A and B are shown apart, each in its own frame.
Chain A
Amino acid sequence: MDDAKPRYYIRFSLAQRYLHWALAGTFLGLAFTGLQLRFSSAAWIQSIARAVGGFGAILFFHKFCAILLTVTFLIHVADLVWRIGFKREWSLLWGPNSMVPRWKDILDFFGNLKWFFRLGPQPRFDRFAYWDKLDYWGVFWGMAIIGLSGYAMWFGSFFARLIPGSWLNIALLIHGEEAILATGWIFIVHFFNTHLRPENFPMDLTIFTGRLSEEELKRMHPEEYERLAASGGLQAIAAENNRTPS
């Protein structure tokens, strides 16, 4: 390896890291308070609820986090609109830097399953692996569905002018079930895929530091590394050339 080459590469911008902090913080706050409401009939949940200040505090905190997460979501959507609509960054819509699923993701998914059973080598992932995209779209649609159903219940008498009141019954059901799915996904799937699996244990700090080492880039995103190395794009994401405050 050439010593002159930078050893660290930028994977996430500072803005993306801040948004992830906001997303993770508000999500955990929403899950902690929301699950107490969803399972409020259990005595031990009621004890926790009392300890944290009762329903009044729980609902306040739930709505507080909901507003912050909504703002986070809107910032992300506005950023997408700006970058795609005004700056014409088509690479966000298609290709290795896009979150839009590609045929390769399906091949990678089955390839990874084969690898689990030792029926083949582990697929060579690009910038975003299929589980990264599942994380992204799960959160994206989860926020849309949970958020909409939540606001529908919060402002029930207003939303009832737009939708039949009986949909509020469905809104509560979907809000709770989708939230359990989201919480289950984060704790069972996301935490393992990203942090807890033996290759990354105990944590992959990239989302917090924004950067990953050359070894990590090669090992986890070989396709991206080789593509950038071939096109000379590595220098553009080298940490040395991206002195963003961290």
Chain B
Amino acid sequence: MKLWALALLMFGVTGAAGAAKPDCLSCHSEKASAKASVHGDLSCTGCHTTIQSFPHPEKQTAVDCASCHSGNAAALGKSVHAAPGGPSCLSCHGGAHSILSAKDPKSTVYPSNVPRTCGACHGNAEVAKRLNLPEVYSLYMDSIHGFALTQDGLLVAANCSSCHGSHDILSSRDPKSKTNHANIPATCGTCHAGPLQAYSSGIHGQMLQAGATEAPVCTNCHTTHQIARVGNAEFQMKTTATCGGCHKDQLTTYRDTFHAQVSALGFRQTARCWDCHGQHDILPASDPMSTIAPAHLIQTCGKCHPGANASFVKFDPHADSHDVAHFPALHYSAVFMNLLLASVLGFFALHTVLWFIRSRFGPEAKAEPKESPQNRT
């Protein structure tokens, strides 16, 4: 009986490779679960190609996924993950015998599981430190994308690979990278088509298309991983300073106005950069399509100031009292007020000090104690 079984086993291995599965499992029974994997229809030797007969050597060369997945392997080979010590196929796709289709909700590369999979390294402070990687996992998980994907289960929300790619991840310094500065609008635009269209028609998009690498892209304002809802107060508070990072003079002059004074106290129902200039399709005032073109000012200011007329929009939300050439009346008003304040307060502060000294230390202070307040009724 035993002999018959052995003979059958040997026949199975040597005679019919295609039907070998049950035979491998008679020794490797713990691998039976592989049937449930995406590779369940393949034979063992489909991957373990070096095993031709039984008994086989104890040591086997590693399975080469590239023998089937040559495209992905080639992409991985050119990616940032190709570096020595970088992740293998299985690092992301799960155990060798339990790989699931990316469409399977249990798969490690199912959209809502991707952040956790990448986070195994990129959310690990120790690994991040050793490889000098930014700790992006927690930032992403708290972002509008991370929240939508992992809390609300919105599969359309961007996961790591939506922006970075999967096998073909390149450093953002690489001009071909999806996250290279110049490619960011196209990458974000794969989902956010409307903003991309608006951005491309705006001055920032035009500059980028003209090759100006300093032109801001989506991430300059929205950040990369901690992207917040645009209605978020904290985001709005930060973004004025973000615009001002490039537009320094405009930020300075904005700060002199009531809009900024109110804004600094955390009040959001006041004009910030984008309320007047637009968001994605910002155009210079010289462009007739601009929200701040002279023909559009009444409409733009009128969003908050009902009844705004041609005279009202002569108010300059970036007036600069130091600029005598453009704002002579404001400039000389400021000079006058400064002189008035300095002279009046300066003189009468001195008046106060002199009076105090005279009253406190003058001869009458000692000579006429009856005038002290205690004696008065």
CB distance from A149 to the nearest CB of B (A): 11
Known: A55-B267, A116-B355, A192-B352. A40 touches B314 (CB 8 A): no
**The one of B314, B354, B363 that contacts A164, using a Cβ cutoff of 8 Å:** B314
Whether A37 pairs with B262 at a CB distance below 8 angstroms is yes
Is A116 a contact partner of B315 (Cβ separation < 8 A)? Answer: no
Query: A173: which of B260, B330, B351, B360 is its contact (CB, 8 Å)?
Result: B330
Q: Kindly state the separation between the CA atoms of A127 and B140 in the bound complex, as whole angstroms.
A: 74
B316 sits at the interface (CB 8 A): yes
The answer to whether A166 and B333 have CB atoms under 8 Å apart is no
Q: Which of A136-171 contact B (CB under 8 A)?
A: 153, 156-158, 160-161, 163-170
Interface size on A, residues (CB 8 A): 56
Question: Does B333 contact A174, Cβ atoms closer than 8 Å?
Answer: yes
User: In the assembly, what is the distance between CA of A178 and CA of B341, in Å?
Assistant: 8
> Is A201 part of the contact surface with B, judged by Cβ < 8 Å?
yes
For window 349-377 of chain B, which residues contact chain A by CB distance below 8 Å? 349, 351-352, 354-360, 362-363, 365, 371, 373, 376-377
B368 shortest CB reach to chain A, Å: 10
- Contact across chains for B348 and A55 when beta carbons are under 8 A apart: no
- Chain A residues, CB < 8 A from B362: 118
Which residue of chain B is the closest to A153 with respect to CB atoms? B258
Kindly list chain B residues whose C-beta atoms are within 8 Å of the C-beta of A245. none
Closest chain B residue to A49, Cβ basis: B265
With both beta carbons as reference points, the residue of chain A lying nearest to B342 in the complex is identified as: A181
From the candidates A37, A118, A170, A200, name the one contacting B265 in the complex (CB within 8 A). A37
Nearest Cβ in chain A — how far from B366, in angstroms? 12
Known contacts A118-B358, A197-B356, A202-B373: does B309 contact A161 (CB below 8 Å)? yes
Q: Complex Cα distance A170/B258, Å?
A: 12
Contact B261 A37 (CB under 8 A): yes
**B330: chain A residues within 8 A (beta carbon):** 166, 169-170, 173
Determine the main DSSP class of A at the interface with B.
helix
Tell me the residues in window 18-39 of chain A with beta carbons closer than 8 Å to chain B beta carbons.
36-38
B349 and A188 form a contact (CB under 8 A): yes
Give the contact stretch, choosing among B72-80, B173-181, B300-308. B300-308
CB distance from A6 to the nearest CB of B (A): 13
Task: Give chain B residues whose Cβ lies under 8 Å from the Cβ of A173.
Answer: 321, 330, 333-334, 337
A105 on the interface (CB 8 Å rule)? no
Residues of chain B contacted by A95 (CB below 8 angstroms): none
- Is B345 an interface residue when CB atoms closer than 8 A count as contact? yes
Q: Contacts A54-B267, A181-B345, A192-B352; is A161 near B359 (CB within 8 Å)?
A: no
Interface size on B, residues (CB 8 A): 52
Q: Which residues of chain B are within 8 angstroms of A161 by Cβ–Cβ distance? A: 309, 311
Residues on A with beta carbons closer than 8 Å to the beta carbon of B308: 157, 160
The distance in angstroms between the C-alpha atoms of A184 and B344, with both chains bound, is: 10
A46 within 8 A of B: yes
| CB <8 Å contact, A157 and B373 | no
Beta-carbon contact of B261 and A40 below 8 Å: yes
Across the interface, do B312 and A157 meet the contact criterion of CB distance under 8 Å?
Answer: yes
CA distance A113 to B315 in the complex (A): 45
B351 and A189 contact, CB distance less than 8 A:
yes
* A168 touching B315, Cβ below 8 Å: yes
Determine if B164 is an interface residue (Cβ-Cβ < 8 Å): no
Which of B257, B261, B313: most chain A Cβ within 10 A?
A: B261
Query: Are B309 and A189 in touch, CB under 8 angstroms?
Result: no
Q: Is the CB of B258 within 8 A of A172?
A: yes
Residue B319 at the chain A interface, CB threshold 8 Å: yes
Q: Does B213 contact A (CB under 8 A)?
A: no
Query: B351's closest neighbor in chain A, by CB?
Result: A189
Instruction: A174 to B329: give the CA distance in the assembly, Å.
Output: 12
Closest A residue to B360 using CB positions: A198
Contact between B262 and A55 (Cβ–Cβ < 8 Å)? yes
Say yes or no for A216: interface residue by CB 8 A criterion.
yes
0/1 interface trace, chain B 243-271, chain A, CB 8 Å (1 if under): 00000000000010110111011110000
Q: Which residues of B contact A56 (CB under 8 A)?
A: 267
The CB with the most chain B CB atoms within 10 A, among A59, A169, A172, A174, is that of A169
Distance between Cα atoms of A118 and B340 in the complex (Å):
29
Nearest chain A residue, comparing its CB with the CB of B319: A169
The listed residue (A40, A158, A167, A219) touching B307 by CB distance below 8 A is A158
Q: Can you list 9 A-B contacts (CB < 8 A)? A: A116-B358, A165-B311, A165-B313, A169-B316, A169-B330, A172-B257, A178-B337, A181-B345, A189-B345
8 more contacts with CB within 8 A, not counting A169-B315, A188-B348, A201-B373, are A54-B266, A153-B258, A157-B308, A165-B313, A172-B258, A177-B334, A193-B355, A198-B359
Chain A interface (Cβ within 8 Å of chain B)?
36-38, 40-41, 46, 49-50, 54-56, 58-59, 112-113, 115-118, 153, 156-158, 160-161, 163-170, 172-174, 177-178, 180-181, 184-185, 188-189, 192-193, 197-202, 213, 215-216, 219
The 8 closest A-B pairs by CB, nearest first: A165-B314, A160-B312, A55-B267, A157-B307, A177-B337, A40-B264, A116-B354, A55-B265
